[in-house]
Structure 1
Amino acid sequence: MSFSLSDAVKLPCGLVFPNRIVKAAMAEMLAGFGHNPTPSLVEVYNQWGQGSWGGLLTGNVQVDVNHIGSPFDPALHGEYKGKESCETLVENWSNYARACQQHGTPAIVQISHPGRQSFRGTGKRGFFASTIAPSAIPVQMGTSFIEWLMGCIAFPAPREMTQADIDTVTRQFIDTARLMADSGFSGIELHGAHGYLIDQFLNPKTNIRTDAYGGSPEKRAKFVLDIIRGIREVVPVNFCIGIKLNSADHSLSTFDDTMTQIRLLIEAKIDFLEVSGGSYEDPKPQKSARTAAREAFFLEFARETRKRFPNLVLMLTGGFRSRMGAEFALKENACDLIGIGRPATIDPKFPRMLLDESIPDEQAQLLLNKVPAPFFTRIFPSHIIGAGLETTYYGGQIGRISKGLKTVAPPA
C-alpha cells in the first residue's frame, strides 16, 4: 500500500481533510481579558488557513469562563440557547470560523475544561475560589518542597464535583459544541489529555470516586461518553467529534484500562483520536533516559492502539519536524494524520514545504532548538520552567503572525 502526505482522509462523519498534515492545537494567548475571539486571533487563523494544511485544530476554547486554563483563552460565558437567542455571539464566532476555513481548510475547535488545573486568578471564578475535579486531589507539580510550594501558589485546592456539578459541566461541553456547529466550524475535539478535566475523570490517579463515575475504566469513562452522546444529539450528522489523549498521562499498569476506554469512545462514534506525547522523528543522542523511555511508550501506545482498532482514524502529534519523519509514521501504518505544532508558529505555511516534491527530503524539515532559559530560572525545577518557556516563546511567535511580523526560531 502506498502512503502519501498529500492523500485526502475521510472521517466517519463524512468530513474530508484534503491532506494528512494537521496543525495541532496550541495556546494562542490572543483572546484577551474578554475571553472572546479577537481580531488578532481571527487573523492568525486566516494566515494558517493559507498554509495548505489538511486541517486546523484551534487552541483551547474553555467551556466555562469561570474555569480556564490560561489567562487569555476564549471561553463560553454562559448557557447557549441557540442561534435565535444569541445572534451576536454566533456572528462573533462565525467570523473566526470563516477566517479558518475560507481558504478550503476544515477547522476543528478544541474544547476543554481544566478542572483542578485552572490557575488562581484566571477566568471569573475569583482568586481564592476552589477549582473542581472528580476527586479532591490537589495538583502535585513534583516531590520537592519548592515544587509543592509552587503548586500551592499556582492552583487552589479542588473540591469533589457533585452530581449537579457534573450535569452542569456536561451541559457546558454540549453548549460549546453546539455553538461551534452553529458558527460554521467543521467539528470539535474534546481535550482529554494533559491532566485536564476529562483526563482527570479517565485516570485512576485523579479519580477515586466510588459512584457511577469511578471504580472501573468503564465508569471513569462515563463523564466523557455522556458528553459525546449529548453533543451528537444537537449537531449535524456531518459535524466531526474527535478526542485527544496523551500517552504520558497513562502507564503500563493502566494500559489495558486505557484500551478499554478507547474502545468505548469508538463505540460512542468518535471520528478520530489524537494521541500526543512523544516523537516519531529519528532519536537524538542528547535525549535523556527519561525522555527516551517516554517516547518509547508513546510509540508502543500508538502501535498497540492501531493494532487493536485498525479502523480508527488516528492522529499522532509529537515532535514531527520533517517530511521523512512524517512519512515514516505513515509507512509504519502508525497513524492516518500527522499533527504538527511548533513548526507552524515559525512557518505558517510549513505543509507547502512538506508537500512540494521538488524539495529534497533532507531539506523538507524545520528543526527547532530548545528555548534558552534565563539564568535566574535555574533556581526552579527545570521541567516546570522548561514547559513554561516553550509555551510562552511559541505563543509569542503566534502573536507575531497575527501582526504580520517575521517569526524567529529559537537561537542555537
Structure 2
Amino acid sequence: MDLTISKPLTLNCGLVLPNRLVKVRPPHSRHSSTQITDKDPTKAAMAEQMSSKCRNYLPNEAVDAVYQTWARGGWGMVLTGNVQIDADYLGHPFDIAAHDSDAAIAPKVLSTWKRWAQTYNTAAAATSSPPPLIMQLNHPGRQSPVGAGARSLCAQNLAPSAIPLDMGDGWLAKSVVSMVFGTPKAMGEDEISAVVGRFAMAARLAAEAGFAGVEVHAAHGYLLSTFLTAKSNERTDGYGGSARNRARIVVEVVEAIRKATESKKGFCVGVKLNSADHQTAEALRDSIEQIEAISEAGIDFLEISGGSYEDPRVSAEIHVGPPIITAIALILLLLQMMADAGESDTPDVKVSSRTAAREAFFLDFAKSIRDQFPSLHLMVTGGFRTRAGMEAAVADSACDLVGVGRPAVLQPSAPRDIIFNRELSDQDARLSEHKIDVPRLAKLSGIRGVGSGATSAWYSGQIQRLAKVK
C-alpha cells in the first residue's frame, strides 16, 4: 500500500514531517471546559482549555497526558489548540496563555511549557516516526467573553474597528452579544504593535520550551482574522483599506516571530486562514493578494479552515462567559420562545457538492490558492473521514497536508490503527465521528453558533478519558 499521504514532507525551514496527517484542534474544543486544579489533574475538559487553575493559565499534567497519547498515534504533525498570547483576553476562562505581567506566574510559563514539550517529545521519540509538536498562537479579539481573562469586567475587547459581533438579527441575539462580548475597541497603532510583540514573545517561549514551531491563528473570527476582512476592518490607516494593508498585522506577526526565533534552527512558522471569508470572486482576489504578502514574510505552511461565531461553518458553539451571563441568556431565550416560538431557525450551512464529494469543506478554496502558489505547502482541515478521500486530495495536489480534528479525539491513533493499517480495505479505513442533533431550543434562539453544546460536552468527556494521568 503505497500511499502519498504516508510519505514524508520537508518544510521550507527544514522540519521533516513523517507523513501528511495532522492532528488539529477539534472545532468544538474552544468552548467546553472544566476547571482543573493541581490536586486533581485528571478532570480535564477539551485539551485546549486545560490550564491548571483560574487566572493561572498554565498547562498541567492533564495536558501532558493528552499530548503523549497523540504523540504515539502515528501523526505527521500535532498541533496544539489555542494558546492565547495575552492572559487579559481569552477565548475561554481556562485557556492556556502566555503572560509576563504577573511577576509570580511569569517564570512558571517557560517551565510548564518545557514540561509539556519534553513529555510529548519523549513519547514521540519512542515511536518509529516522531511527529513534531507545533503550538497554535492566538488572540481572540472581539470573541473574548466577559470574565474570560485577567482584564477587568469593564475592559473592552480589541478589534481593528469598533464593530460588534453579528450573531443574528433577533433581539435575543443582539442582547447576548451586548452582554457577553460588548462592542470592541478600535485598536490604536500602539496596541497593534503590542499585540505583534506578544505573538513574538509567545513564539520565543515556545522555541525555548522545545516546541518545533508555531502556527499563527488568523481564522475563525479571532483578532487577526478580523483585520483581514473588510467586513470587520473599516480602518483608514496602514492597517486597513486595501487587501494588502489589512494583512499588514499578520505579516508583521510572522516577521516578528522569525526575528524572535532566528536562533532556533529549523523552527517552523505556519498560518491558519479562513475559507469562509472568501466566498466571492472579489474576496478571493483579496485573499490571493494577502496570502502573497504573508508567504513573502516567510511561512512554512498555510492551513485552510473555516467558520467563526458569526458564520459557524464548523458547527462552532459559543461559550457565554460566567454563570450569571449564562443564566441571563437562558432567561432571554425562554422569553423569546414564549413570544415567538418557531419563528426563527438557524439556517443550515450548505457546502458545494464538489467539495463534499472530496470530503473537505474548504478544498475548493485551497485549490484556488494552490493554483496561485504552487510551492506553498497547504493543509486543509475539515471533513476528511476516509483514507480514499485523504489520499485523493493529496495525490491530486489539492493540498499537501490533511488536518483531522474530532476523529483524533475518538481515535487518537487513527493514522497508525486505521489510515495506514494495511489490514483494512479502503472501504473500512474510515474515521468515526459522534454527532448529536441540535436541540430544538437552540434552534429557536436564532443565535448563530449556539446549539452544539451537547456535542461539545460529549467530546469533553472523551478528552477527560484521554487526559487521565496514569
Whether the TM-score (by the shorter chain) exceeds 0.5 is yes
> 1:392 offset after TM fit, Å?
3.7
Distance 2:57 2:102 in 1: 16
Q: Is the CA contact 1:67–1:113 (under 8 Å) kept in the aligned structure 2?
A: yes
Residue 174 of structure 1: aligned partner: 200
Q: Is the CA contact 1:62–1:112 (under 8 Å) kept in the aligned structure 2?
A: yes
Q: Equivalences for 1:161-310 in 2 at 5 Å?
A: 161-235=187-261, 236-252=264-280, 253-277=282-306, 290-293=349-352, 295=355, 298-310=362-374
Distance 2:449 2:225 in 1: 20
- What letter corresponds to residue 351 of structure 2 in structure 1? A
3-state SS of paired residue (1:385)? coil
TM-score w.r.t. the length of structure 2 is 0.79
- Can you list the C-alpha shifts for 1:258-300, whole angstroms capped at 9, x where unaligned? 011111111111000000139xxxxxxxxx8732249578332
> 1:375 offset after TM fit, Å?
5.5
| Structure 2: runs of 5+ lacking an equivalent | 30-46, 125-129, 308-346
- Can you list the C-alpha shifts for 1:122-170, whole angstroms capped at 9, x where unaligned? 0111223210111010111122222222212221211110111111111
> 1:21 offset after TM fit, Å?
0.6
> 1:105 offset after TM fit, Å?
1.8
Describe the shift of the 1:37–1:404 C-alpha distance in structure 2 as closer, same or farther (beyond 3 A): closer
- What letter corresponds to residue 278 of structure 2 in structure 1? H
Distance 2:138 2:251 in 1: 15
- Can you list the C-alpha shifts for 1:68-126, whole angstroms capped at 9, x where unaligned? 11121100122699xxx976432211111122222122000000001111111101112
Distance 1:380 1:86 in 2: 41
Q: Is the CA contact 2:117–2:210 (under 8 Å) kept in the aligned structure 1?
A: yes
Describe the shift of the 1:210–1:378 C-alpha distance in structure 2 as closer, same or farther (beyond 3 A): closer
Which has the higher relative contact order, 1 or 2, with Cα contacts under 8 A spaced 6 or more apart?
2
Q: Equivalences for 1:42-81 in 2 at 5 Å?
A: 42-78=64-100
Between 330-339 and 360-369, report the one with greater CA deviation: 360-369
Distance 1:374 1:386 in 2: 6
> 1:383 offset after TM fit, Å?
4.4
Q: Is the CA contact 2:439–2:451 (under 8 Å) kept in the aligned structure 1?
A: no
Q: Equivalences for 1:101-112 in 2 at 5 Å?
A: 101-102=121-122, 103=124, 104-112=130-138
3-state SS of paired residue (1:191)? strand
3-state SS of paired residue (2:136)? strand
Residue 409 of structure 1: aligned partner: none
Residue 13 of structure 1: aligned partner: 13
| Structure 1: runs of 5+ lacking an equivalent | 279-287, 406-412
1:39 aligns with 2:61: yes
- What letter corresponds to residue 269 of structure 1 in structure 2? G
3-state SS of paired residue (2:241)? coil
Distance 2:440 2:451 in 1: 13
Q: Among the aligned pairs, what percent are the same residue? A: 41
- Can you list the C-alpha shifts for 1:359-393, whole angstroms capped at 9, x where unaligned? 11111112324223455445323742234444443
Q: How many residues align?
A: 392
Q: Is the CA contact 1:79–1:175 (under 8 Å) kept in the aligned structure 2?
A: no
Residue 23 of structure 1: aligned partner: 23
Residue 342 of structure 1: aligned partner: 406
Describe the shift of the 1:87–1:114 C-alpha distance in structure 2 as closer, same or farther (beyond 3 A): closer
- What letter corresponds to residue 388 of structure 2 in structure 1? M
Q: Is the CA contact 1:195–1:249 (under 8 Å) kept in the aligned structure 2?
A: no
Q: Is the CA contact 1:129–1:156 (under 8 Å) kept in the aligned structure 2?
A: no
TM-score w.r.t. the length of structure 1 is 0.90
- What letter corresponds to residue 314 of structure 1 in structure 2? L
RMSD: 2.3
Distance 1:67 1:44 in 2: 25
